[in-house]
Amino acid sequence: MLPRAISRHRLLLVAVTASAAALPAVAIAAPAAAQSTVHYVALGDSYSSGVGAGDYYSSSGSCDRSANAYSVLWANANAPASYTSVACSGATTSSVIASQLSALSSATTLVSITVGGNDVGFSSVMETCVLDSTSACVSAIDTAEGEISADLPGELNNVLTAISADAPGARVVVLDYPDLYDLSQSSGCIGLSTTDRTDLNQAADQLDSQIQAAAGRYSDVFADVRSTFAGHEICDSSSWLHSVNFFDIDESYHPTATGQADGYYPVFSAHA
């Protein structure tokens, strides 16, 4: 268990609200010679904005859009006719609808999104698991799993319906979240108990299952990153995920720059 000296206020910064969504979006102009007809918009939360990957655009403020995010890497490699990222740390399905969908239009041909973790209180669950007992952690996870089952399907329906309405001709790629821990290495890994880690992974799988089901309901593309991150989770020697980062608490439990480049980017690229 980690020291209680880590303040709850600081840990809550892991999922700051999307109030900074009015800040300028990241936009990269394609070279004049580019012949691409792809108009790409990246939506979503911190896993899409690139929290944990470093090299943040100052113009994005607390949205923490990184030059190492998978959407930027794809745009750099493929030179779409246009690219805009409005992904923002802390985004929920409702804040995506309220603050991000204005970036879409009938001309948009490609959309990517990660969303849902903040709707079910990901940061609050992780705060409890880091600071409190295993029983408190398991209880918080149980509450989140109830929300995943009862509330999240409708919330995902709302955001995917809105995307379809605002970008009716777009290919929508819905990415999920990696499992946080390699449970096969848990016995020699400091920090949370194996019970906590097992339940967190199970909750992540339930979250991903709901995301996959929602994508299927709307004939969107589901892009699963879990197998790509396998062997590179927390407790692995070559983890692509931050554990608790005392020097930059916002980055805790988010992909590193390598996680964006080798975990998210190839999966998105294969489905874009």
* 1 belongs to a structural domain: no
Residue 149 annotated in active site: no
- Would you call 205 helix, strand, or coil by DSSP? helix
**pLDDT tens per residue, range 6-59:** 344 343 333 333 333 344 566 655 444 445 899 999 999 999 999 999 999 999
**What's the rounded Cα separation, in Å, for the pair 112 and 272?**
8
d(Cα 260, Cα 96) in Å, to the nearest integer? Answer: 21
Annotation says 46 is catalytic = yes
Per residue, the 3-state secondary structure of 210-260, as one string, reads: HHHHHHHHCCCEEECCHHHHCCCCECCCCCCECCCCCCCHHHCCCECHHHH
Confidence of residue 118 (pLDDT cuts 50, 70, 90): very high
Token pair 């700051």 is found at 16
Confirm whether 2 is domain-assigned: no
Identify which of 25, 26, 27, 34 has the alpha carbon closest to the alpha carbon of residue 79: 34
For the sheet containing 171-175, what is the strand order? Answer: 26-29, 82-85, 39-44, 110-114, 171-175, 221-223
CA separation (Å) from 82 to 66, 111, 137, 243?
Answer: 18, 12, 44, 35
- 56 within some domain: yes
- Identity of the amino acid at 88: C
As a whole number, the mean pLDDT across the chain is 89
- CA distances from residue 231 to 182, 195, 227 in whole angstroms, order as listed: 7, 19, 9
In a domain, 3, yes or no: no
Instruction: Give the domain extent around 23.
Output: 8-271
CB–CB of 169/108 below 8 Å? yes
Structural domain includes residue 40: yes
Q: What amino acid occupies position 18?
A: A
Would 233 be classed as within a structural domain?
Answer: yes
User: Is 94's pLDDT higher than 50?
Assistant: yes
Cα–Cα distance measured from residue 230 to residue 268, given in angstroms and rounded to the nearest whole number: 16
Annotated catalytic residue: which of 62, 232, 254, 269?
254
Distance CA 46, CA 253 (A): 11
In a domain, 37, yes or no: yes
Query: Pick the catalytic residue: 39, 46, 48, 239?
Result: 46
Question: pTM of the full predicted structure?
Answer: 0.87
Q: Percent of the chain having pLDDT more than 90?
A: 80
pLDDT tens per residue across span 57-72: 999 999 999 999 999 9
Does the structure show a pLDDT above 60 at 5? no
Contact (Cβ atoms closer than 8 angstroms) between residue 145 and residue 199 = no
pLDDT in tens, 168-182: 999 999 999 999 999
CATH number at residue 264: 3.40.50.1110
> What's the total number of domains in the chain?
1
**173 part of a folded domain:** yes
β-pairing verdict for 26-29 and 82-85: antiparallel
